[in-house]
Structure 1
Amino acid sequence: MRSRAYRALTLVAAGTLVAACTSVGSSKASPVQVGLVYSRSGLLAAYGKQYEVGFRAGLDYATHGTNEIEGHPIQVTEHDDAGDPATAVAATRTLIGKGFKIIAGTTDSGVALQMAPLAAQNKVLYISGPAATDAVTSGNPYTFRSGRQVYQDVRAAETLLGDVASKKITVLAQDSVFGRANLAAVRAILGDKGAHVVSVLAPLSVADLTPFARQTKATRPDVVFVAWSGTTTAGLWTALKQQGVPRASKVVTALSGTASYPIFAPADANVVFFAHYFPGATGDNAVERAMLDGITNAGGTPDLFSVDGFTAAQMIVHAVSSGSSTDTAAMAKALEGWTFNGPKGREHIRARDHALLQPMFTARLRGRGSAAKPELVSSIPMMAVAPPENMPEG
C-alpha cells in the first residue's frame, strides 16, 4: 500500500517536473521577434551599417549579455530596404504577416514616412532609426524614434549663428523628404527670427554638383545651411570648395560620419558644425563607453548613427520587459514618458507626441586628412532644442 502510494507520488512529482521543464522550454521556444528594416545597400548604406552594429551592441548592453528578455530569446530578422519605400513596405508587410509585432530601423526619411502609417494600420510597434524628418512621429500612437529629428538639428545650428535678423540664408539640400524637411525647419526657426531664407535643391541622382555650388554662391548668402547625406557628400564639398563658397559665406552643416572627416579637414574657418553625435562626444558617460566598447569588441567601428541603433535596442528591451512582447499598446505605454540614460546622455520620450528629447552638440575638426578628429565645442541640453508639441504632421 505504502509502496503504491509512494510510486503514485513519484509519478506526480515527475509529471510536475516535466511540466515545469516544458514551461521553461516553451518560454525559450517563444522568442521576441524583432524585424530590422534598414539600408544595407543604396545611397545610405554606410549609415545603415552604423545603425545595425549599434543595435547589436545595444541589445547586448540592455540584456546584460544574455540576448534575452525575461527568459525569452530575442530573434532579429533583417531586411534591406535599399532606401526605397516600396521595398521597405513589402518587407514590413512580410514580417507583419509572420506575426512580428516589433519593427525597427529605416535610415531614409522617405521610407520612414511610409512605415509609420503601416505600423498604425497594423498596430505594430515601429521605432524609426536615423530617419530625421519631423513628421515621422506626428500623431501616430505606435511609432517612436531612436534618433534625432530635423528640428533639433536646426536649433543646434542656430546656436552657431548668432543674430540672423535680416541675414540671407541659403539652404543647400537634396531634393528629398529629408532635404525639404530641413528647408521647412530653417524657414520656421530662422525665418521666424528675421532671416530671409532661399533654397537650392539638387536631385538625389545628380553626380556633378558643381552647378548647384555655383547656384548657391550666386544667391550671395550671408549663411549657407547645408543639409546633405549619403555617398555624394564628398563630391558636394569638393564642388563647394572649388567654387569658393566657404570663403564667400559662413557655412553651417552637420558633422557627418567618420568617413567625412578628411573631406572637411582642414576645415575652413567659415565652416561650423553642429552634431547629432560623434564618438566621444559626451565625455564621461558610462552608457556611451559601453556602446563604444561593445562595437569595438565585436570588430566594428563606432560612428555617427551607432547611437540610433543602440538606443533602439534599449527602447525595445524596455518596452517588452515593462509591457509585453505581443501587446503593442502595452509596449507603447511603457515607452511613453520614459526617461533613461542613453549613449548621448539623459534622454526622454515625450508621451504626447513621442518626440525623443536629447542633447545635441557643436564641434570643430582638428588635424588634416585621415588624422582629422572632432572636438567638442558645446553640449546643448535636451530642453534647449526640444521640438514644440504642435509640430505639423505634414
Structure 2
Amino acid sequence: MNKTNLIAAALLAAFAAGAPVQALAAGPDLKVALIAGKTGMLEAYAKETETGFMMGLEYLTGGKMEINGRKLKVIVKDDQSKPDLGRTLLAEAYGDDKVDIAVGTSSSGSAIAMLPVALEYKKVLIVEPAVADAITGDKWNRYIFRTSRSSMQDGLAAASTLKGGSVAFLAQDYAFGRDAIKAGKDALKATGSKAVVVHEEYAPQTTSDFTASAQRIFAALKDKPQPRVLGIVWAGPNPMNKIADMHPERYGIALAPGGNILPVLKTWKSYPGIEGTIYYYYAFPKNKMNDWLVSEHTKRYKAPPDMFTAGGFAAASAVVSALAKAGSGDSEKLIAAMEGLEFDTPKGKMKFRKEDHQALQSMYHFRIKKDQKNEWDLLELVREIPASELPLPVKNKR
C-alpha cells in the first residue's frame, strides 16, 4: 500500500471510530510557562495573576484549553520574587520543559533578570505584572513583550490630572519607588503640566511610622503655589491613611494615591473624595469580557477581581491571540504576529507597540466614594484616560 492509500485508510478508520479528523491533524501540545512570586513579599499579586491567567485561558478557549485544535498546557513556577531564581526557572522552562512562550513575573527585579534568558533561548517572554520602565527600555530585547502597564504609564496617568501647582512624592526606597518617581517627573514634562516638583521623600519598605516623612513633606509643600498635591506610590500596605490622619488639608495639601489592590483600597474607605489613578478597578470597564470576569470571579471567590487578576487575564489574551495568529509556537512567527497585535482584555483593547512591544492601554482617574453600598463599592470613575492621551516615549535602543 502506498503512502496516499495509507493516509486514506487512516482517515476512514478515524471516521469509523467516530474520532474527529482535527485530532489527527493537531500537532503536539502548546506549552506556556507562568512564572510568579507565589511566595515572598508579592505573594498576593502572584496569586491574583495566576487566577486571572487561568480564568482568561478558560474564557478565551471556551473551556477547552485548546488553540487551533492543539492542547494548551500551562506550567506554573514560583520564583519567590528572587532574580536569580527567576532567571533559573525561565531557563528551565525554555530548555527542559520546551515551552513555546513564557509569562512572568511579579517582581521587576526578577523580570529584568529574566530578559537576557529570553534572548539566549530566542523565545518570547510576556512580562506581567512587573512595571519597571527598563523592561521595555534599556534592558529590552526583541523577544520581550509586556501586557502590564509601565511605571511611565502610571506616571502619565497621574500627570494627566495635574495641570499646575506644586507636587511632592512619597515612595519606597528601592528600585520600584525610585523608578516610579522618575517616571512621574518625566510624565509631568511629557504632558506639558506646569506643576513643579518641590520634594521627593523615600522611606524604607518596612516603615510603619511616617511622622518624620510627613513633616518634611508638609514643610516643603505648605507655602508653595496651589494646588498642593502629595503623590503616594507604594507597593503593598499603603501609608495613605496614616498620612491622612496627620491632616495634610490644614496646609491645603491634597493626597493623590496610586491605585492598589482591593484589600488596600478597603483601608481608604474613611477618606471619601480623595482622587488618584489606577490600572484597573472591576466596576470601571464596560465590556463583555469584564462582565464575565466580574461575574465568575465573584461567584467563585466571593469577591470581585482585582487589578492583578485583570492583568493575568490580559496576559492570557495576548498568549491565545498570538499563538492563534502565528499558527505555531515558532518564535519568529510569534514576533511577527505580536508586533502591532490588538487583543481584547477586561480593560478593553490593548495593542503591542511595534517599537518596544509595550501594550498601549487605557488608565483610570478615580475618586474614593462617599456613599459605599457594600464591602467592595469603593471607587467612582472620574474619567477613563485613553491610551491616545498617554504620550508614552520609546526608550529602548532598537
Report the TM-score range of the alignment, normalised by the length of the smaller protein: 0.7 to 0.9
Q: Is 2:242 the counterpart of 1:239?
A: yes
Shift of 1:217: 2.9
The equivalent residue for 1:219 is 220
Contact 1:261 1:372 in 2 (8 A): no
Equivalent of residue 282 in structure 2, options 268, 279, 284: 279
The equivalent residue for 2:55 is 57
The equivalent residue for 1:378 is 383
SS at match of 1:219: helix
The equivalent residue for 2:225 is none
1:197-346 to 2 correspondences below 5 Å: 197-220=198-221, 222-230=228-236, 232-233=237-238, 236-245=239-248, 247-248=250-251, 249-267=253-271, 269=273, 271-282=274-285, 284-299=286-301, 301=303, 302-346=305-349
* Equivalent-residue separation in structure 2 for 1:260 and 1:10 (angstroms): 66
Deviations 1:147-170 (A, max 9, x none): 211212122112322224xx2x22
**Cα–Cα, structure 1 residues 26 and 365, in superposed 2: closer, same or farther, change >3 Å?**
same
**Cα–Cα, structure 1 residues 84 and 246, in superposed 2: closer, same or farther, change >3 Å?**
farther
* Equivalent-residue separation in structure 1 for 2:41 and 2:289 (angstroms): 30
- CA-based RMSD of the aligned residues comes to 2.9
**Cα–Cα, structure 1 residues 371 and 336, in superposed 2: closer, same or farther, change >3 Å?**
closer
Structure 2's unaligned 5+ residue stretches are 223-227
TM-score computed with the length of structure 2 as normaliser: 0.85
Q: Is 2:126 the counterpart of 1:127?
A: yes
* Equivalent-residue separation in structure 2 for 1:286 and 1:217 (angstroms): 45
Deviations 1:327-348 (A, max 9, x none): 1121121111112332112322
Shift of 1:317: 0.8
SS at match of 2:55: helix
**Cα–Cα, structure 1 residues 375 and 24, in superposed 2: closer, same or farther, change >3 Å?**
same
Q: Which amino acid aligns with 1:265?
A: K
Equivalent of residue 86 in structure 1, options 66, 84, 87: 84
The equivalent residue for 2:393 is 388
* Equivalent-residue separation in structure 2 for 1:173 and 1:12 (angstroms): 65
Percent identity for Structure 1 against Structure 2: 29
Q: Is 2:153 the counterpart of 1:152?
A: yes
* Equivalent-residue separation in structure 2 for 1:163 and 1:150 (angstroms): 21
* Equivalent-residue separation in structure 1 for 2:272 and 2:379 (angstroms): 14
Q: Which amino acid aligns with 2:382?
A: V
Contact 1:157 1:253 in 2 (8 A): no
The equivalent residue for 2:361 is 358
* Equivalent-residue separation in structure 1 for 2:92 and 2:38 (angstroms): 18
TM-score computed with the length of structure 1 as normaliser: 0.86
Alignment length, in residue pairs? Answer: 377
Q: Which amino acid aligns with 1:74?
A: L
* Equivalent-residue separation in structure 1 for 2:256 and 2:94 (angstroms): 41
SS at match of 1:229: coil
Q: Which amino acid aligns with 1:132?
A: V
Contact 1:361 1:378 in 2 (8 A): yes
